[in-house]
Amino acid sequence: MKNFFQYSIYPVFMLSAFFSIIWLMKSGTNQYLSTVPIIAVYGLAALLLERWMPFEKNWVNGTDWNLDFTYYIINYLIKVSAQFTLIWLAVWIPFPQWFPTTLPFWMQVLLALTIIDFFLFFVHWQSHRYGWLWKLHAIHHSSERLYFLNGEKRHALHQILEGSPGIILCLVIGTPQPVVVVALAILAINMMMQHTNLDYKAGILKKFFCVAELHRWHHRADYKDAQVNYGAWLTVWDHIFKTAYDNPKIYHTDGIGEIGIKEEPNFPRTYWKQFWYPFK
């Protein structure tokens, strides 16, 4: 029974969230009332599941909850601000209508999500290659445990740098704003499952989606070991650019080892100290 649950939780979690949001949107519910409560409900579900069946027992409790929740709220507000900016720009600038709005709504969401996902991957990848970007991105890697909430732990500037290219391209090609809102909501839920401390298994799905089994390798404490698995939703970009990595044998016997930033054991612990960290 446990084995069945471990393999079914990821597809059930993601598909039920996806179709719940789509159903609410199609029934005429406001786009934010269709997404924010769903994200909150699935976050609560992830929290409870992590405590019931944790991947790493030492990650169940920590002192970083308030810090990570602060990041989550601030970065969500940045996303909402970007979405309203998109609406404002679309009113004043006659962008071309290249986005295929004749497709079913759910297909439009997946297309927009794919566009956004590529640029998230690319900026993330470059953030491990250039020092000034790494200084911003290091905040995300400073966590010494992985759980559902720290998937959105990012410096505010890095949040803008990662999210803007894909959202701007969606704007330029005429993507309807509700499509972008739903795409970002689905991405947020996948980020929960990517960072969760829940001991689930994705099976064949990890060949296509960026699940926790893959992303935990990316958070290994030694910097040189963390240069893999940059994707946020799809694994295709990691495969194309040769940054994909998985080693199930080591994963199930020795584990992934310590996470965090080995080179900086005294990383700042408060939001504002971390905010100013990249500029020092």
For 53, residues 6+ apart whose C-beta sits below 8 A from its C-beta are: 2, 5, 6, 198, 199, 200
Residue 120 is predicted with a pLDDT of 98
Instruction: Supply the pLDDT for residue 92.
Output: 81
What are the tens digits of pLDDT across the range 46-89?
999 999 999 999 999 999 999 999 999 999 999 888 878 877 77
pLDDT band at 157 (very low <50, low <70, confident <90, very high): very high
For residues 21-41, give the mean pLDDT. Answer: 94
- Give me the DSSP letters along 192-243: HHHH--B----GGGGGTB--HHHHHHHTBSSGGGG-S---SSBSHHHHHTT-
Residue 262 has pLDDT above 90, yes or no: yes
> Which residues contact residue 249 at a Cβ distance below 8 angstroms, ignoring those fewer than 6 apart?
none
CB atoms within 10 A of CB 182: 27
Spell out the SS3 assignment of 26-56. HCCCCHHHHHHHHHHHHHHHHHHHHHHCECC
Helices (H), 56-201: 65-92, 105-127, 131-141, 156-172, 177-195
pLDDT in tens, 218-253: 999 999 999 999 999 999 999 999 999 999 988 877
Q: What is the pLDDT of residue 270?
A: 96
Supply φ then ψ for residue 184, to 5 degrees: -70, -30
Question: Token pair for residue 14?
Answer: 């993601």
Q: What angle do CA 218, 52, 225 make, to 5 degrees?
A: 10
Residue type present at position 108: Q
Buried b (16+ CB within 10 A) or exposed e, 157-180: bbbbbbbebbbeebbeeebbebbb
pLDDT of residue 103: 97
* Distance of alpha carbon 169 from alpha carbon 180, whole angstroms: 11
- Output the pLDDT for position 250: 83
Q: Specify the pTM.
A: 0.95
pLDDT for 94: 83
